[in-house]
């Protein structure tokens, strides 16, 4: 019988990927708060996690939901335009990640989950709450926009 690893091990194994994803989605300033919210929610739900679950995909799904909640709060509060929240350089080449930051949220999430989180289309679909085909399309459209921009 396979069991899920201790929560601390899950945090150590996947924390960097979750933080990078959140930084790409909400910017450096909000990433820390969303990261904490993600892992608090994950800790509460961890005892009910199925041992066959893909832990990385599960954590990135929670992170995606926390990022969307944050973006909705920001939009509702109208504190600042969404496009200005995202920092240019969550990782790697600054020009590429600056361009990723300008993508619409679903396309940005698909690109970040695929190339930052190394998730398959099925896992991206589960994370952003759409069909696998819609996830493929969001990724395709995001990459198309990036090619046009760069």
Q: Is residue 84 part of a domain?
A: yes
Each residue's pLDDT, cut to its tens digit, for the chain (150 residues) gives: 456 788 999 899 999 999 999 999 998 889 999 999 999 999 999 999 888 889 999 999 999 999 999 988 887 765 444 444 444 444 456 678 788 888 998 999 999 999 888 899 999 999 988 999 999 999 999 999 999 988
Number of domains in the chain: 1
| Residue 150, both tokens | 């760069």
Residues in the chain: 150
> Is residue 57 in some structural domain?
yes
Residue 117 sits in which domain range?
7-149
Tokens linked to 27: 């910017």
Distance CA 76, CA 143 (A): 29
1 lies in some domain: no
Are 22 and 63 in contact by the 8 Å Cβ rule? The answer is yes
Comparing CA positions, the residue from 99, 97, 90, 126 lying closest to residue 17 is 90
Compute the half-sphere exposure of residue 3: CA atoms within 13 Å on the CB side of its CA.
Answer: 5
Residue 104 lies in a domain: yes
Domain of residue 53, CATH code: 1.20.140.160
Asked if 125 and 114 count as a contact pair (C-beta separation under 8 A), the reply is no
Q: For residues 15 and 30, give the distance between their C-alpha atoms in angstroms, rounded to a whole number.
A: 16
Rounded alpha-carbon distances, angstroms, from residue 106 to 6, 58, 127, 145 = 32, 18, 11, 13
Is 2 part of any domain? no
Distances (CA, A) of 137 to 24, 62, 106, 130, 142: 20, 22, 10, 11, 8
Structure tokens at 37: 């919210």
């Amino acid at each position: 019988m396979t069991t899920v690893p201790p929560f601390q091990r899950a945090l150590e194994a996947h924390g960097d990927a979750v933080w990078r994803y959140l930084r790409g989605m909400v910017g450096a300033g909000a990433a820390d708060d969303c990261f904490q919210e993600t892992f608090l929610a994950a800790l509460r739900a961890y005892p009910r996690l199925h041992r066959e679950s893909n832990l990385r995909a599960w954590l990135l799904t929670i992170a995606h939901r926390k990022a969307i909640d944050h973006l909705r709060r920001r939009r509702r509060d109208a504190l600042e335009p969404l496009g200005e929240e995202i920092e240019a350089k969550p990782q790697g080449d600054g020009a590429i990640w600056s361009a990723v930051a300008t993508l619409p949220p679903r396309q940005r999430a698909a690109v970040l989950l695929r190339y930052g989180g190394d998730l398959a289309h099925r896992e991206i679909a589960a994370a952003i709450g759409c069909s696998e085909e819609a996830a493929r399309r969001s990724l395709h459209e995001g990459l198309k926009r990036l090619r046009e921009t760069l």
